[in-house]
Structure 1
């Protein structure tokens, strides 16, 4: 089975053909044991797919289509959105599995009037109608996909424009932050320079006051020293003078 899956690739034409065949031959699937596998063996033989795909894989393909349809249908019921926009086979499977909405009622098949003797059997006409319906559905699906792609491109374009606008505004905000930061830095540097200059002026003023005070103190000390020296000299001169007077008096009394 694994090798058959790798060899045979289901194309859209194969898938559409399987859906048409499965619905038109629904009477073969009686529910009895091995009835389904025998019916799929008949499908492989009719479509000349012997050696390309096994009947069990055909059955698996059909079951996968049904399961995906059921999953999408339940999602559409819950969300209220059309599942056909997400899976191109949804409308076809809906017509194939829904007896109230058969696929032949989705669109009006194009019929070609031909003479009665050459008319195809009923089964072949039914398959032709189904194929016509499938082709029309494929065209509609392609149109929906094209419109969805255009909408996606428009969303991408708008998203890109919004991203560009956000980037531009972010760059402007960043430039404004840088400008304000530069202004604040310039103000801080100016304040630092002003403080440094003020400290230098204050330091020079203190040094100048200190030098003046030192000079005044030295002058005052020198003046005091001279005054003390002069006072000592006067006192010494006065003592000498008194001493001379005492000596003179003493000598005079002798």
Structure 2
């Protein structure tokens, strides 16, 4: 237990100690008026917390722990609640409050001395047993949290791998689409160039054909004109000869 700037700092060790003490001193909480506050006064005195915390504050701390345990237990019974697995004090409080839980389930039996004088007082042994049980339950809870964290990390890794695979496949599909688009554009461009070349060839062939037809017509007209002139000269010569 430590303090900072004169203000007492309640730690997880204090919480575990409180739960163990409360479970091992259940007989002090008779339900009578002021019984609880007197019991917590004894707790403050035994733990040498006088001047650091008040019995009322310790009582409120315990009631808050108990209320949160009851809330989570109720939620888990009606449909499940992940907070049960993540609240580190749930298993400890369950052991402290459940009449079905035995200390022997959490602690390893020890050899008891045959001498009554060597054995600690019953109340002290009971509190020590509960503290051992609390620490064991804390270890189990930490192990569950560690395993849950590892499972969560594994799920995150798998999700990241799936996301990376989806991104890779999406990138591949995008590359394929871009390549296909580029190929279509190139094909259309080649087709346009081919059509342009064919059109130019057709136009050139048409112009050549028109030019050839024009020359042939001109040559034919010239031949016909020459033939007419020749016939005219012959007629003129015949006329002059007969005169």
Map 1:110-125 to 2 at 5 A: 110-114=109-113, 115-125=115-125
Aligned residue for 1:111, secondary structure, equals coil
- For structure 1, list consecutive stretches of 5 or more residues without a partner in the other structure: 242-254
Q: Deviations over 1:36-69 (max 9, x none)?
A: 3343333223222233333333223212211221
Q: Deviations over 1:186-225 (max 9, x none)?
A: 111111212222232333344445555666777788899x
Kindly indicate whether the alpha-carbon contact (under 8 Å) linking 2:21 and 2:130 is maintained by their aligned counterparts in 1. no
Where does residue 88 of structure 2 map in the other structure?
88
Structure (1 or 2) with the greater helix fraction = 1
Where does residue 22 of structure 1 map in the other structure?
22
Q: Deviations over 1:117-170 (max 9, x none)?
A: 132222111101101211222222233233333333433333333333333323
Q: If the length of structure 2 is used for normalisation, what is the TM-score?
A: 0.74
**Higher Cα Rg, which structure:** 1
2:209 and 2:70 map into 1 onto residues whose CA distance is 101
Kindly indicate whether the alpha-carbon contact (under 8 Å) linking 1:109 and 1:132 is maintained by their aligned counterparts in 2. no
Where does residue 127 of structure 2 map in the other structure?
127
Where does residue 55 of structure 2 map in the other structure?
55
Q: If the length of structure 1 is used for normalisation, what is the TM-score?
A: 0.71
Map 1:2-21 to 2 at 5 A: 7-21=7-21
- For structure 2, list consecutive stretches of 5 or more residues without a partner in the other structure: none
Report the number of matched residues.
233
Where does residue 36 of structure 1 map in the other structure?
36
1:104 and 1:83 map into 2 onto residues whose CA distance is 24
Kindly indicate whether the alpha-carbon contact (under 8 Å) linking 2:73 and 2:84 is maintained by their aligned counterparts in 1. no
Where does residue 187 of structure 1 map in the other structure?
187
1:185 and 1:22 map into 2 onto residues whose CA distance is 82
Q: Which has the higher contact order (CA 8 A, sep 6+)?
A: 2
